[in-house]
Amino acid sequence: MKQRARRFRNVHAILTLAAGLVILVSVALGGLGWRLLQQEEALQQQRARDALEGKANILQTQFFSKMGEAETLLRGLGSSLPPGAGDSFGKGAIVVAMKTGVETQPPGQLMYLPFVPSSRPLDAALFDESQKLEFQSRDFSAASAALAALADRQGQVRAEALFRLARVHKKNGRIKEALATYANLKDERTLSPALEEPYGLVSRLQRAELLKESGQVADAQAEAAALIDSLNAGQWAINKGTHHYYFRLALDLAGHPPETSAPAERLVVAETVGALWDEWRQFARSGSQSLTKQLHSSGPIPVLTLVNANPERLVAVIYPGQALRNWIPDPGPGEDAAGIRVDLVASDGRSLTGTPREERPALRVVRTLSPASLPWQLDVTSAVDGASRIFASERRNYLVFALAGIVLMVALACYAMARGVLREAAAGRLQSDFVSAVSHEFRSPLTTLRQLTELLAEGRIVEEGRRRQYFSVLQKETSRLHQLVEDLLDFGRMEAGRRQYRPEALDLATVVRDTVQQYSNEAAANGHSIDVAPQPGPLVVEADREALQRVVRNLLENAVKYSPEARTVWVETEREGRFAVLRVRDQGIGIPDAEKKRIFEKFVRGDAAKRAAIPGTGIGLAMVHEIVRVHHGEVGLTSEVGSGSTFTVRLPLSRAPGAAEVQEPQAVHGSFR
**Chain residues that interact with ligand ADP, rule: CB under 6 A:** 554, 558-559, 562, 586, 588-591, 599, 605-606, 609, 616-622, 645
Nearer to ligand ADP by Cβ, of 379 and 487: the residue is: 487
Closest to ligand ADP by CB, 247 or 562 = 562
- Min dist CB 404 to ligand ADP, Å, is 45
Q: Which is nearer to ligand ADP, 394 or 607 (CB)?
A: 607
Q: How far apart are CA 64 and CA 61, in angstroms?
A: 5
Tell whether omega for the bond before 106 is within 30 degrees of 0, i.e. cis: yes
Q: How far is the CB of 590 from ligand ADP (least distance, A)?
A: 6
Q: Tell me the angle at which helices 199-213 and 240-254 cross, rounded to the nearest 10 degrees.
A: 20
3-class secondary structure, 639: strand
Alpha-carbon span 505 to 656, nearest angstrom: 8
- Cβ 620 to ligand ADP shortest distance, Å: 3
Decide whether 210 or 584 has the Cβ nearer to ligand ADP.
Answer: 584
The three-state secondary structure class of 7 is helix
What minimum distance in Å lies between the beta carbon of 574 and ligand ADP?
A: 20
Query: 378 or 560: whose CB is closer to ligand ADP?
Result: 560
Nearest to 191 by CA among 235, 156, 166: 156
CA distance 407 to 31: 13
Q: Which CB atom, from 12 or from 440, has the smaller least distance to ligand ADP?
A: 440
Nearer to ligand ADP, 306 or 624 (CB): 624
- Select 559 or 581, whichever has its Cβ closest to ligand ADP: 559
Instruction: Name residues whose C-beta falls within 8 Å of residue 404's C-beta, 6 or more positions apart in sequence.
Output: none
Taking residue 558's Cβ as centre, other Cβ atoms within 10 Å add up to 23
Shorter beta-carbon distance to ligand ADP: residue 603 or 672? 603
Kindly tell me which of 56 and 556 has the beta carbon lying closer to ligand ADP: 556
Provide the minimum distance between the beta carbon of 600 and ligand ADP in the complex, in angstroms, as a whole number: 8
Among the listed residues 600, 641, 636, 630, the one whose alpha carbon sits nearest the alpha carbon of residue 618: 600
Rg (CA), the chain: 64
Nearer to ligand ADP, 158 or 602 (CB): 602
State the minimum distance, in angstroms, from the CB of residue 625 to ligand ADP.
9
Q: State the minimum distance, in angstroms, from the CB of residue 555 to ligand ADP.
A: 8
CA separation for the pair 352, 186 (Å, rounded): 39
The nearer residue to ligand ADP, 168 or 584, going by C-beta atoms, is 584
Looking at the chain, how many residues does it have? 673
Measured from the CB of residue 528, what is the shortest distance to ligand ADP in angstroms? 12
Phi, psi of 2 (to 5 degrees): -65, -40
The smaller minimum CB distance to ligand ADP, of residues 114 and 618, is found at 618
Its sign, for the CA torsion 184, 189, 193, 197, is positive
Residue with smaller CB distance to ligand ADP, 310 or 568 = 568
Which of 184, 176, 232 minimizes the C-alpha distance to 204? 184
Euclidean distance between the first and final Cα of the chain, in Å?
41
Least distance from C-beta 474 to ligand ADP, angstroms?
24
Residue 61 C-beta-side C-alpha neighbours within 13 Å: 6
Minimal distance in Å, beta carbon 435 to ligand ADP?
A: 14
Cα distances (Å, whole numbers) of residue 355 to 236, 310, 322, 329, 350: 34, 37, 10, 15, 9
- Residue 564 vs 670, nearer CB to ligand ADP: 564
| 350 residue type, one letter | R
Burial pattern 151-178, b for ≥16 Cβ within 10 A else e, equals beeeebbbbbbbbbbbbbbbebebeebb
Closest separation in Å from C-beta 541 to ligand ADP: 22
DSSP, collapsed to helix, strand or coil, labels residue 529 as strand
How far, in Å, CA of 200 to CA of 206, rounded?
10
Cβ contact 553:519 at 8 Å:
yes
Instruction: Give the separation between CA 608 and CA 612, rounded to whole angstroms.
Output: 6
Shortest spacing between CB 433 and ligand ADP, in angstroms:
10
Spatial separation of the C-alpha atoms in residues 51 and 386, rounded to whole Å: 10
Region label for 216, one of left (φ > 0), alpha (ψ between -120 and 50) or beta (otherwise) = beta
User: Measuring CA to CA, how many Å separate 119 from each of 110, 189, 230, 477, 548?
Assistant: 19, 11, 21, 158, 147
CB of 640 to ligand ADP, least distance (A): 10
Closest CB to ligand ADP: residue number:
606
Q: Which is nearer to ligand ADP, 79 or 646 (CB)?
A: 646
Task: Give least dist CB 9 to ligand ADP, A.
Answer: 27
**Strand, helix or coil for residue 347:** coil
For 414-443, give the secondary structure using H, E and C.
HHHHHHHHHHHHHHHHHHHHHHHHHHHHHH
- Give Dmax (Cα) for the chain: 200
CB of 597 to ligand ADP, least distance (A): 11
We find the least distance from the C-beta atom of residue 547 to ligand ADP, in angstroms, to be 16
362 and 383 in contact (C-beta within 8 Å)?
A: yes
Smallest distance, ligand ADP to C-beta of residue 521, A: 20
